[in-house]
Amino acid sequence: MKLPTTVPDLLRNRQKLKRSLLEQDGLVPSRIAILGGSTTAEIKSMLELFLLASGIRPTFFESGYNRYSEDVLFENRDLWTFKPDVVFFHTTWQNISNFPELLERETEVERRASHEMVRFEALWEKIHIGLGALVIQNNFDLPRLRPLGNLEASHSFTRVNFLSRLNEEFGKFARNHHWFLINDIHYLCALVGLDNWFGRSYWYNFHMALSPTAIVALARNIATIVKAVYGKSKKCLILDLDNTLWGGVVGDDGVNNLVLGRDHPVGEAFLDFQKYLKGLQERGIILAVCSKNDPDTAKEGFSHPDSVLRIEDFGSFKANWNPKPQNIREIATELNIGLESIVFVDDNPAERALVSQAIPELAIPEVGSDVSLFAEILEREGYFEVHQIVQDDLDRANYYKANAQREATELTFSDYGSFLDSLQMRAEIAPFRSLYLERITQLINKTNQFNLTTRRYTSAEVETIARDPNYIALYGRLADKFGDNGLVSVLIGQIADDTLYVEAWLMSCRVIKREMELSMFDALVGQCQLRGVRRIIGVYVRSKKNSMVATHYPELGFQPTGESHEDRELWSFDIPLNNSPRSRHIERTEDQSPADAQSVPVPVTI
């Protein structure tokens, strides 16, 4: 269900919208604490709407007015009992009480900034250590008034420069702490405009630091961050060609007559849109083409001298005269991704309506026909938000290119086992390492199809499991002669006496049918034998998307326990003294790096 785009419509219809959104199936529960330096009731109300629209059902704890610090430092019993998954600190520039004095020396300004950082860091660390929650913190917006006018931009003792200094320090902290994320209200206040960001009557009457318009922008942005944390961001952008990536029809106008490039105002807008798409592709979003066109003619468009995008930038290319819904389904199958992970952009409203009716799971923004707005509309919806950049994201395009090579090679073999042997596969399977904790968390929260329980974990929970001797927690990487698939599988089990209870077992669909799940099982059995575990209890929790693993446990030789009910099945496996490996086509290697699960992972930055 799409929410209204205007603030009045959202405010007027929010109760009706909430009732409708609560009727959705498969909502992911999340406990969210809002700790505010100003009144937050309206923020909570709007945030709930945006989270529900993202498939997340929140339960809230809300601090008293301006009690964000006391509730943390003195461990408010209600907050600690609530055990939030996410803690959102809603502070603004008005919560800074120690601004520099006029003409104050640089050393004193630095001291004041350091004092503010110590104060905030104490809150963040206490939340992380005491509650294990993900922390989302506003950076600082700009004050509406500038007592020193334009001098605010140049002197270190001014409020504007002091807030900029703190924003920089907040950013440094975020880069070095994977459990801490910034809600960038410094950007939001500029986007909304300071005249619309702060409402005097709302502040003096209700101590609301933001106007209703600003609250909607803030809530949308926080929901986008939370959505990314829970793996609900989109993975693939499917694009039309004519009048979407360039102006004109390549089959009628010819390549040289396409409107694209700096010599034409509309052509420059198409060029900038292509640059935006290239940026998405470089950080891991899969681009695909779905166009009604002759395939050879369609590809000629990318030979235009001003085209930023090239054929090799696309993970799938469908240019033919088939209905677009058919082509989109084929793209999803080819890429092994769910339809709900796809965004479709087409300038033609009739095509958008047709695809929307045929594939309601698809995200189809109403981009209109003005290409200068396309990127802004995609940005506003937050489809491709990420909370961390990990190396696997940067390598995703290469993974899909290599998969295409594998599929082409498979066609030359009549025996599937011989094809698997020809891949020369090598698996690295080992206990969780700090280097991979962010990717492990990402994979857990994004994987839906090969996922036995679809249980989600926060970064803090994954870090805790990595350190807990009562868990067997394994990651799996798979490489072959065509390249490295990256970290593709995760298995988590908790030991109780001589039994291991599997809480999570999942695998990326890009390595389906390669026997990686068998290698993971072999490694799990080996770990169990080393730890004196004699029985494995596997859990299968049925969802709308994981039917492909419904027979996973019986195929491995597990037996039903007789304790299954409704959508939850329990399976038991007695570990033999001499277990024969199941995987026949993968060479398994041990990770030789030092054990470092207790260190804090440092995310890749770009």
Q: What is the average pLDDT across 394-413? A: 72
pLDDT band at 598 (very low <50, low <70, confident <90, very high): very low
Q: What is the average pLDDT across 57-79? A: 96
Q: What is the average pLDDT across 489-505? A: 96
**425-589 placed in CATH 3.40.630.30:** yes
- Bigger pLDDT: 183 vs 508: 183
Q: What is the average pLDDT across 188-212? A: 95
Which three-class secondary structure state does DSSP give residue 443? helix
- Least confident window among 50-54, 110-114, 409-413, 434-438: 409-413
Write down the domain spans for the chain.
Answer: 7-229, 236-381, 425-589
pLDDT recorded at residue 606:
28
CA–CA separation, 97 and 91 (whole Å): 12
- Bigger pLDDT: 4 vs 161: 161
**7-229 placed in CATH 3.40.50.1110:** yes
pLDDT recorded at residue 602:
32
pLDDT recorded at residue 593:
45
Give tens-digit pLDDT for 370-384: 999 999 999 999 999
5 alpha-carbon distance from chain centroid: 23
pLDDT band at 201 (very low <50, low <70, confident <90, very high): very high
Q: Which residues contact 544 (CB under 8 A, 6 or more apart)?
A: 25, 26
483 pLDDT higher than 90: no
The one-letter amino acid at 134: L
Q: In what order do the strands lie in the sheet with 471-480?
A: 559-560, 568-574, 535-541, 499-507, 483-496, 471-480, 425-431, 586-589
Beta bridge partners of 86: 32, 134
392 pLDDT higher than 80: no
pLDDT recorded at residue 295:
92
Closest CA to 487 of 499, 474, 471, 501: 474
CA–CA separation, 310 and 301 (whole Å): 9
For the beta carbon of residue 182, count every other beta carbon within 10 angstroms. 20
Burial 546-562 (b: 16+ CB within 10 A, else e): beebeebbeebebeeee
596 pLDDT higher than 60: no
Q: Are 439 and 600 in contact (CB under 8 A)?
A: no
pLDDT recorded at residue 381:
92
Angle between helices 7-21 and 41-53 (to 10 degrees): 60
The one-letter amino acid at 314: F
DSSP of 504-527, one letter per residue? EEEE-GGGTTTTHHHHHHHHHHHH
* % the chain with pLDDT above 70: 95
pLDDT recorded at residue 406:
77
pLDDT recorded at residue 390:
64
Q: Are 531 and 494 in contact (CB under 8 A)?
A: no
Which contacts (CB < 8 Å, 24+ apart) does range 115-118 have? Answer: 116/166, 117/166, 117/169, 117/173
pLDDT band at 321 (very low <50, low <70, confident <90, very high): very high
Q: Please measure the distance between the N-terminal and C-terminal CA atoms of the chain and give it in whole angstroms.
A: 34
User: What mean pLDDT value characterizes the chain?
Assistant: 91
pLDDT recorded at residue 395:
62
Burial class (CB in 10 A: 0-12, 13-18, 19+), 412: exposed
pLDDT recorded at residue 413:
84
Q: What is the average pLDDT across 88-109? A: 94
Give tens-digit pLDDT for 573-587: 999 988 889 999 999
pLDDT band at 459 (very low <50, low <70, confident <90, very high): confident
pLDDT recorded at residue 333:
87
Q: Are 520 and 507 in contact (CB under 8 A)?
A: yes
pLDDT recorded at residue 394:
62
- Least confident window among 45-49, 295-299, 434-438: 434-438
Which three-class secondary structure state does DSSP give residue 566? coil
pLDDT recorded at residue 327:
97
For the beta carbon of residue 494, count every other beta carbon within 10 angstroms. 16
Which three-class secondary structure state does DSSP give residue 466? helix
The CATH superfamily label for domain 236-381 reads HAD superfamily/HAD-like (3.40.50.1000)
pLDDT recorded at residue 397:
64
Tokens representing 527 are 């770990």
405 pLDDT higher than 80: no
Tokens representing 213 are 């318009």
Beta bridge partners of 87: 33, 135
- Bigger pLDDT: 590 vs 494: 494
600 pLDDT higher than 50: no
597 pLDDT higher than 60: no
- Bigger pLDDT: 334 vs 188: 188
For 252, phi then psi, to 5°, come to: -100, -40
Give tens-digit pLDDT for 114-163: 999 999 999 999 999 999 999 999 999 999 999 999 999 999 999 999 99
Number of helices and strands in the chain (H, E)? 23, 17
Do 7-229 and 236-381 come out as alike in CATH topology?
yes
